[in-house]
A and B are shown apart, each in its own frame.
Chain A
Amino acid sequence: MGILKIEGLKKAFNQKTVIEALNLEVTQNEIYGFIGSNGAGKTTTMKMVLGLLKSDGGEIYVCGEKVRFGDTPTNRHVGYLPDVPEFYTYMNAEEYLKLCADITQMGKAEQRERIDELLTLVGLHGEKSRIRNYSRGMKQRLGIAQALIHRPKLLICDEPTSALDPKGRMEILKILKEITKETTVIFSTHILGDVERICDRVGILYDGKIVKEIDMSRGPLGEKGIVVELDQEAYGKVAPLLEMHHAGGSEYIIENHSLREIYNVLHKHEVYPERIVKERKSLEDVYLEVTT
């Protein structure tokens, strides 16, 4: 069964359509990467899943239950890490997590254990200073801890790594990977490298819809073509015989010929390129393909 199911979701701000007929299904224990440019509607979609914003049409189900705008009971299944998590800065991490645990009405004994466990997970155990003095990275890690306090089935992260330095990003990605044993994670980002590193499945949001879904576990994303490095003279010799296009520098991409054909042509004209390589598509290539 799908943990999260979105059907025909719509949202407009001041008559400007942001989300149009968005369909999405996320299954248990996967990491789903939700990618799209800034302003594509990733945050808006997430806030509708959380009942923080009202949708203009369509349905959202979390663990089979319908999401309502306002106090939605489905939030008990969901943990949320906003892009810039805000805390009561006059508290320390432990006090804040205690407040969160109290809100979810967790028993005292379980609370203590869970808070200990989470502080260790995010590397804030023994951190006594008030949140006021935290760095961006520490706040993001505390953000994950608070989102997981009630052992949600679904963790929604909005751009969790965007504002962090490389070290901070690695820490967050490591934590996200670690928690998929118990939790399904959906995270939005525009950093494709992060997605390639940890996601099982990727949805590309463009023009208010998921225009492409990619199963990252299925291996390569397809062939991009054969890249050949040719100097000016060599290019002149083989250009009439091979259909190719310029890829920048001295690189040319050949899409419609097999490697065998290419070798034959090159050999015949005594052209010996520095480099011939069969290149696979990167996520970036696919992203650019479907969003332009």
Chain B
Amino acid sequence: MNQMLPLFKKEFIESWRNFKFAAILIVFAIIGILSPFTALILPDILGMVMDDSGITVEIPESTTLDSYMQFFSNMNQMGLVIFVIVFGSILTHEFSRNTLVNLVTKGLKRTNVIVVKALFLMLVWTIGYALSALVAYMYTIYYWDEPVDHLVLAFAMTWVYGLFIISLILLASTLFTNSFIAVLFSVVAAVIVMLMAGIHPDAAAYLPQYLIGNNVGLLAGEIDPEDVLGSMAITAVLSLVFILLAIIRFKKVPMN
């Protein structure tokens, strides 16, 4: 237990001094600003394009829903991808540079390594995502001022999906040890498998992927909050299982 605090501090110093922590905060803040901005200017741009081509069509003003649609589309794709690229090597780089050997040979419990890395990634993800969501929310209520239902749940869906991706990163890292590329491929492969499994309508609602495909559907009232709970629970359980598997596997990883 007492080993976790210094390890956590080390992770923080690491991502602070190599600017990864701040970089992810900046990128997420940019997503938070860019999303409502895109929703706001899109009708204007469309209008200009239409005028140029001599077509006169009435373009509807954008709405709150458009703003959130932009946010989730940006966050679920660009945001998560950048997060994985920036923080996905958190364990593999310790293998490729052999930096854990000194600590493990001093009696550092390997379980603590995985637990601390998982907690740290979750913290970074939570802070970054919350910042992004908050920024998007503030702009949206300022510019549109129409309330939507289930906003918190819609935000939570992507957040839980992010936790799942974190557990996937850690499990893949313990399997492929020093190869960040293999970790990236594992995450991509897992997403592809989920997309394929999701073709079957009965399975779709219980896959983690469902969470990042239906944020706007929930806001628009196309699905009910109860419809999300299944995949939410499964995603949470899967994340926990992945972390546990990562811990078990990591205990018996040879270190060269």
B-binding residues in A (CB < 8 A) = 47, 50, 52-54, 69-71, 73, 75-76, 78-80, 82, 84-88, 90-91, 95, 99-100, 102-105, 146-147, 149-150
**A104 to B9 Cα, complex, angstroms:** 15
Q: Is the CB of B254 within 8 A of A53?
A: yes
Please give the distance in Å from B207's CB to the nearest CB on chain A: 34
B2 at the A/B interface (Cβ < 8 Å)?
yes
> If A86-B97, A90-B14 touch, does A103 touch B252 (CB 8 Å cutoff)?
no
Q: Is the CB of B99 within 8 A of A86?
A: yes
8 more CB-based (< 8 A) A-B contacts, given A82-B102, A90-B17: A52-B254, A69-B252, A71-B107, A75-B105, A75-B106, A79-B106, A80-B101, A86-B97
B3 at the A/B interface (Cβ < 8 Å)?
yes
**A79 to B102 Cα, complex, angstroms:** 9
> If A53-B254, A71-B251, A88-B14 touch, does A103 touch B98 (CB 8 Å cutoff)?
no
Residues in A whose Cβ lies below 8 Å from that of B13 = 88, 90-91, 95
**A50 to B256 Cα, complex, angstroms:** 11
Residues in B whose Cβ lies below 8 Å from that of A100 = 102-103, 106
Most chain A beta carbons < 10 A, residue from B13, B97, B106, B254: B106
Residues in B whose Cβ lies below 8 Å from that of A71 = 104, 107, 109-111, 251
Contact among B106, B254, B255 with A149 in the assembled complex (CB-CB below 8 Å): B106
Residues in A whose Cβ lies below 8 Å from that of B255 = 47, 52-53
Q: Is the CB of A52 within 8 A of B105?
A: yes
Residues in A whose Cβ lies below 8 Å from that of B105 = 50, 52, 75, 78-80
Q: Is the CB of B254 within 8 A of A54?
A: yes
Scoring B residues 92 to 122 as 1 if CB is less than 8 Å from chain A, else 0, what string do you get?
0000011101111111111100000000000
Within 8 A of A (CB), among B240-256: 251-252, 254-256
**A147 to B99 Cα, complex, angstroms:** 13
Considering the complex, give the chain A residue whose CB is closest to the CB of B110. Answer: A71
Please give the distance in Å from A154's CB to the nearest CB on chain B: 11
Please give the distance in Å from B71's CB to the nearest CB on chain A: 34
**A52 to B109 Cα, complex, angstroms:** 13
Q: Is the CB of A85 within 8 A of B102?
A: yes
Please give the distance in Å from A106's CB to the nearest CB on chain B: 10
B6 at the A/B interface (Cβ < 8 Å)?
yes
Please give the distance in Å from A35's CB to the nearest CB on chain B: 22
Q: Is the CB of A52 within 8 A of B104?
A: yes
Please give the distance in Å from B167's CB to the nearest CB on chain A: 22
Please give the distance in Å from A56's CB to the nearest CB on chain B: 12
B18 at the A/B interface (Cβ < 8 Å)?
yes
Residues in B whose Cβ lies below 8 Å from that of A88 = 10, 13-14, 99
Q: Is the CB of A104 within 8 A of B251?
A: no
**A75 to B99 Cα, complex, angstroms:** 17
**A50 to B108 Cα, complex, angstroms:** 12
Residues in A whose Cβ lies below 8 Å from that of B99 = 86-88
3 nearest A-B residue pairs (beta carbon): A102-B6, A80-B105, A90-B17
Please give the distance in Å from B121's CB to the nearest CB on chain A: 18
Residues in A whose Cβ lies below 8 Å from that of B251 = 70-71
Please give the distance in Å from A274's CB to the nearest CB on chain B: 53
